[in-house]
Amino acid sequence: MKLIELFAIPATVLALSLPVFAVEGVESTRVQFAQVAALDGPAGALGTGMRAGILAAFAEANRAGGIHGRTVGLESFDDGYEPDKSVAHVRGVIAGDNHIGFIGPVGTPTSQATQPVTTEAGMPFIGPFTGAGFLRDPSLTNVLNIRASYGAETEAWIAHLVDELGMESIAILYQDDGFGRVGLAGVTAALEKRGMTLAAEGTYTRNTVAVKSALLEIRKAQPQAVVMVGAYKPIAEFIRLSRKLKFEPTFVNISFVGSDALAEELGPDGTGVIISQVVPFPWDASLPVVAEYQAAMTALDAASVPNFVTLEGYLVGRVALRALEAAGPGLTRASFGAALASLGSFDIGGLAFTYGPGDNQGLDTVFLTRITADGHFETVTASEKHASR
């Protein structure tokens, strides 16, 4: 069975195979996490990718005897990238009290809805797949971010397009919700720093691919670049339609899009599309943590191939495991939360993480990649030295 097929199994079926857990998801021989994320639909590859990477990290630790004699498990619930469904699952997990915390959630609108619920319940909220600024609020002591913020990504876009390439006309396509508006705010701020404004704006509705009206509106302005804040299916539809209409600006995407999923959706139409990244190049095994990730993914599924989403999931899993180790053998949710809040600065396989007072984000690096004619990736700038896939 392929990895993607395994992770498409409904959460209700997954749950049937799991034992009943003690209070807070902690037993003498096992500890359990919950993931509430999109496992199906237009953002499904993001949730399943995060799940795969987290499971690879957990399985790696379990093969070595677990953490303080406990194996580490993960139960996933599909929220379809819909806030109401996400809240329902989160409330159910909290009420059941069979999990030590949440890990690997996907998306800004879902996190906006669920983070306050988890914070009120004192449940750890680890490694959300979003760069939304509100999750970087230092008062959110239950939240631990791995990736750089969307503000950092959008600044990197505009620095490249304007400062390096000299472009003067930039438009934006964004998902019409909290996620898209965060990206819009970041782009607007980056342009304003340079005395510029957007040439045009277009929006689409979450969990649809209804982008034609936005495309026609943006095309009127004939921008040199279109920066894009959305999920891979609607973004792919926008780019495909643009190519058919002979509208050929530079397309630049946010990391949330899911690089491999977008490249696969686009096929030949993906050539030259730029995507910002917030984790190392997943094919660069010269970085020890990437070599470890590749081995862990192969052990989980011999048919798996490296990609940015599963690498991010793996890093999220490794950071959670580090906190479990620091919490000691007398594990409770409170001791685990205290360990998360006290991680400080550390290194995982040559990759440096830094946390501290008022800083709940471990990584700060952003770099740009481009889809090549063969559907692979290359770096765009020389500021980060990564191998080509």
Classify residue 388: in a domain, yes or no. Answer: no
With tokens 């780019």, the residue in question is 239
- Do 244 and 371 have their domain in common? yes
Residue 19 has a pLDDT of: 46
Residue 42 has a pLDDT of: 87
91 exposure class (CB count in 10 Å sphere: 0-12, 13-18, 19+)? middle
Domains held by the chain: number: 2
- Do 269 and 158 have their domain in common? yes
Residue 23 has a pLDDT of: 87
Residue 7 has a pLDDT of: 40
Tell me how far CA of residue 63 lies from CA of 50, 67, 71, 102, 299, in angstroms: 20, 10, 9, 22, 10
- Do 91 and 43 have their domain in common? yes
- Do 15 and 57 have their domain in common? yes
Q: Which residues of the chain fall short of a pLDDT of 70?
A: 1-22, 381-389
- Do 140 and 154 have their domain in common? no
Classify residue 11: in a domain, yes or no. Answer: yes
Q: What is the pTM of this model?
A: 0.90
Residue 22 has a pLDDT of: 63
Between helices 44-63 and 288-300, what is the axis angle to 10°? 100
Classify residue 361: in a domain, yes or no. Answer: no
151 exposure class (CB count in 10 Å sphere: 0-12, 13-18, 19+)? buried
- Do 312 and 334 have their domain in common? yes
- Do 211 and 311 have their domain in common? no
Q: Of 274, 247, 250, which is closest to residue 262 (Cα–Cα)?
A: 274
Name the residue range of residue 255's domain.
150-277+367-379
Classify residue 389: in a domain, yes or no. Answer: no
Distance separating alpha carbons of residues 376 and 305, to the nearest angstrom: 12
Classify residue 221: in a domain, yes or no. Answer: yes
Residue 328 has a pLDDT of: 97
> Rg of the chain over CA atoms, in angstroms?
20
What are 334-376's pLDDT values in tens digits?
A: 999 999 999 999 999 999 999 999 999 999 999 999 999 999 9
- Do 94 and 30 have their domain in common? yes
Residue 381 has a pLDDT of: 62
Classify residue 372: in a domain, yes or no. Answer: yes
Residue 6 has a pLDDT of: 41
Residue 152 has a pLDDT of: 97
97: left (phi over 0), alpha (psi -120 to 50) or beta: left
- Do 188 and 211 have their domain in common? yes
Specify the CATH number for the domain of residue 294.
Answer: 3.40.50.2300
Classify residue 116: in a domain, yes or no. Answer: yes
- Do 43 and 22 have their domain in common? yes
- Do 267 and 293 have their domain in common? no
- Do 7 and 90 have their domain in common? yes
